[in-house]
Structure 1
Amino acid sequence: MKVRKFRPTNRLTALIKERGGIMAKDAIAAAEAGVESLRESSMAALDEAIAEIERRFGRDTPERVTEVYEGLYVLGSRIIDVSAFVSDAGIDKAAVSLCTLVDSCEHAGYWRWDAVDVHIDALRLLRAHGAELPLDQREAMLQGLYRVSNYRPEEA
């Protein structure tokens, strides 16, 4: 028995070996410029999502008891989607915690408004001052949110 070995041509390898094209540093610079062009619209979408959360689910909104869980979850997800430009503020992690809380509430079948209010306050604070907070204070706040979102009153 004879074994024949062969290597199929790899298109990417051929392109890399080909002369011309764009330098890696130029491609990176172009990608960064492309991402930077999304900053303004992302920040506007972030602010709109937080404002809508406050308007629909805020402490002073009596109609919030009629809202569906999915509404707050979608708004929290929207914050996660556009928070890349403020990743040093921790707002993305707070939004993940909010989504975890909403899942918990839906599973339990009732809202935990005190926990929702804490998350809304944290989102507002992190959006305004998150990047300026000392890392240990920001992390302590996020750890507190995680504890609140994972707390199960029925198991206490």
Structure 2
Amino acid sequence: MSVEKVTEARTLKIKTSLARQMAQPGGRTIADVERRANERLERHRDDVMTTIAGTITELELAAAAAAPGTEPQIYTLASSLLNTAGFFDTGPLYDAGYSLCDVADRMQTSGAWNWPTVGVHVQAMRLILTAGCKADATTDALLLGLRSVAAKTRQDG
């Protein structure tokens, strides 16, 4: 007869240096880290707003030319504006840019391009940027008008 030897499994907890460091008191709070990141980001606001103004100028030129074949450029520029504006609280400017992306995409897909619709969006974005991207009664009215234009584009497409 054979005798089996039974052994018990043991688990060992290994503490890494990172786990030891994280267990120590001190460090930064999440609120402090967020505040510091926002402060660093805010240092770039003026440069970003200059870039956004340049993109709006490019949109104005493209809309004024209304040249066949430049339609895809409108969506590209508007989405570039959104990518940049999304880092800051640009409120109504972001909303207007999003609306332009939406209508440009719909017009491109349907093949029914409407340059005045693009022009209205670009003018609204210029006004919003010039007013400091603040949400107020004027920008609310502009966005309401853009929603109306976008709804018309959806109906026509």
TM-score normalised according to structure 1 size: 0.74
Kindly indicate which of the two structures has a greater share of residues assigned to helix: 1
> Offset of 1:16 from its aligned partner?
4.7
Moved more, 28-37 or 14-23: 14-23
Contact 2:90 2:134 in 1 (8 A): no
Question: Could you tell me how far 1:116 is from its partner in structure 2?
Answer: 1.0
Is the aligned partner of 1:55 residue 2:57?
no
How far 1:104 sits from its partner (Å)?
A: 1.5
In structure 2, the gaps of 5 or more residues are: 1-14
Aligned positions of 1:1-156 closer than 5 A:
16-58=22-64, 61=65, 64-83=66-85, 84-88=87-91, 90-129=92-131, 131=133, 134=136, 136-151=137-152, 152=154, 154=156
Structure 1, residues 58-110: CA drift from partner, whole Å, max 9, x if none? 2xx2xx2223332111111111122243524x100000000111011112203
**1:15/1:106 CA distance change after superposition, 3 Å:** farther
Moved more, 30-39 or 116-125: 30-39
Aligned residues: 146
What TM-score, normalized to structure 2? 0.74
Within 2, Cα distance between the matches of 1:133 and 1:87? 9
Cα distance in 2 for partners of 1:95, 1:109 equals 21
Aligned residues of 2:99 and 2:147 also touching (Cα < 8 A)? yes
Identity of aligned residues (%): 26
1:106 match: secondary structure: helix
> Aligned-pair RMSD on alpha carbons?
3.2
Structure 2 distance, partners of 1:105, 1:36, is 36
Deviations 1:108-131 (A, max 9, x none): 203111211111110111111154
Deviation, 1:15, is: 6.0
> Quick one: distance in 1 between partners of 2:140 and 2:21?
45
Gaps of 5+ in 1: 1-8
Greater Cα offset, 12-21 or 145-154: 12-21
Greater Cα offset, 116-125 or 142-151? 142-151
Query: Does the 8 A contact of 2:78 with 2:98 survive in 1?
Result: yes
